[in-house]
Amino acid sequence: MDREYILFLRQLGFNRISFGIQDFNPIVQEAINRVQPEAMLFDVMDWMREAGFESVNVDLIYGLPFQTQATFQETVKKTLQLNPDRIAVFNFAYVPWLKPVQKRMPESALPTAGEKLKILQSTIAQLTQNGYVFIGMDHFAKPNDELAIAQQAGQLHRNFQGYTTKPESDLLGFGMTSISMLQDVYTQNHKGLKDFYRAIEGKELPIERGVRLNQDDLIRRTVIMELMCQFQLSVQDLEEKYHLGFDLDFNDYFAHVLPQLDALEADGLIKRWGDGIEVTAIGRLLIRNIASVFDSYLIPHSSKRFSKSL
């Protein structure tokens, strides 16, 4: 990356920019084959500020090989020195069966689930104590950022790129593997370079697969999005929104997950009342697990494998 390219992007009209740091520690960078000298990262941020980008986001990842709570605290400290407008802190998805390149990573060096939880908790404390607002489950933003304002107003939403303030906008994905979200349709582009170029050269959309959501999908997506974005769900609002020719009673419709909700409440992760669900402070750390009980595609004891929440 160089200064001229950053300035060129701004001249083209781009007003937001994001770049992945993942971790400042050189040992971690070596382990994930992503060496980025610290001086270069600070130079890039200076160029972005010089170019006048309205918002700059940086990505960090916890759960990488050789990370500890102490080393990641140092990464967060240096990230704060960069002073970005937004910070995304993602959980590393160790899925070598999907990404064979991950087999090169030393699995024994991956932090345990307990260590990852400590890293996440200390990161939340470190960022919020330095003026950032905890947005959703993996984003942080300055108080005057539109994400923070939207969260306060209960208008936060989420798409494949993370949290957003534009729920009705279509999300168009360009490039290999990218995902588009168009109202009730999802599509994904080709994963293979040859297939991708073959479609482009044939003047076709490089789409490999897609799915159209049915009524049940839309209802469950609404529930999951409300929990992940607002950390609460109004049953009355849900029933009113999907009162389309039939009576949607929440307890009847989701009768099969009520025992799981009881267990989550007993563990102190959620609170329930007559008209809704509220995620507790500790529950926010495990919001993926809470939302997953409403996902009909996560079949218990299925042979299909997913990344771990922690």
- Domain boundaries along the sequence of the chain: 3-153, 179-212, 216-292
Q: Phi, psi at residue 294, to the nearest 5°?
A: -95, 0
Among 36-40, 183-187, 202-206, 243-247, the minimum mean pLDDT is found in: 243-247
- What average pLDDT does the structure give for the chain? 90
CATH fold for the domain made of 216-292: Arc Repressor Mutant, subunit A (1.10.10)
End-to-end CA distance of the chain: 33
Rounded to an integer, the average pLDDT of 267-273 is 94
Same fold, 3-153 and 216-292: no
pLDDT at residue 305 in the model = 57
- Tokens 């849900």 identify what position? 238
The pLDDT of residue 218 is above 70: yes
pLDDT in tens, 50-78: 999 999 999 999 999 999 999 999 999 99
Can you give the pLDDT at residue 273? 83
Per-residue pLDDT tens for 144-177? 999 999 888 888 888 877 888 877 788 899 999 9
Q: Which amino acid is at 65?
A: P
Nearest CA among 137, 157, 138 for reference residue 146: 157
Average pLDDT of span 100-117? 90
Q: What is the 3-class SS of 242-304, one letter each residue? A: CCCCCCCCHHHHCHHHHHHHHHHHHCCCEEEECCEEEECCCHHHHHHHHHHCCCCCCCCCCCC
Lookup: tokens for 250: 């929440």
What pLDDT is recorded for position 160?
76
Q: How would residue 307 be classed by pLDDT, with cut points 50, 70 and 90?
A: low
**56 has which bridge partners?**
17
φ and ψ of 47, to 5 deg: -65, -40
pLDDT, position 153: 87
Q: Among 1-15, 18-32, 97-111, where is mean pLDDT lowest?
A: 97-111
Residue 236 CA to its chain's centroid (Å): 27
Nearest to 83 by CA among 122, 123, 41: 41
CA distance 295 to 98: 21
- Which burial class, exposed, middle or buried, applies to 35 when counting CB atoms under 10 A from its CB (0-12, 13-18, 19+)? exposed
| Three-class secondary structure assignment of 24-69 | CCHHHHHHCCCCCCHHHHHHHHHHHHHHCCCEEEEEEEECCCCCCH
The stretch 22-42 carries a mean pLDDT of 94
How crowded is residue 152: how many other Cβ atoms within 10 Å of its Cβ? 11
| pLDDT at residue 101 in the model | 86
Architecture of domain 3-153: 2-Layer Sandwich (3.30)
| Burial classification of residue 112, based on how many CB atoms lie within 10 Å of its CB (0-12 exposed, 13-18 middle, 19 or more buried) | exposed
pLDDT tens profile 221-240: 999 999 999 999 998 888 88
272: which 2 tokens? 């329930």
Q: What is the pLDDT of residues 238-249, one digit of tens each?
A: 888 886 445 668
Rounded to an integer, the average pLDDT of 241-258 is: 78
Q: What pLDDT is recorded for position 245?
A: 42
Taken in order 248, 251, 257, 260, is the CA torsion positive or negative?
positive
Q: How many CB atoms lie within 10 A of CB 210?
A: 13
What whole-number percentage of the chain has pLDDT above 70?
Answer: 94
Please report the pLDDT score of residue 299 as a whole number: 65
User: H helices of 129-185, where?
Assistant: 146-152
Torsion over CA of 285, 289, 290 and 296, rounded to 10 degrees? 160
Task: In whole angstroms, give the CA distance from residue 60 to residue 158.
Answer: 19
Strand partners, 182: 185
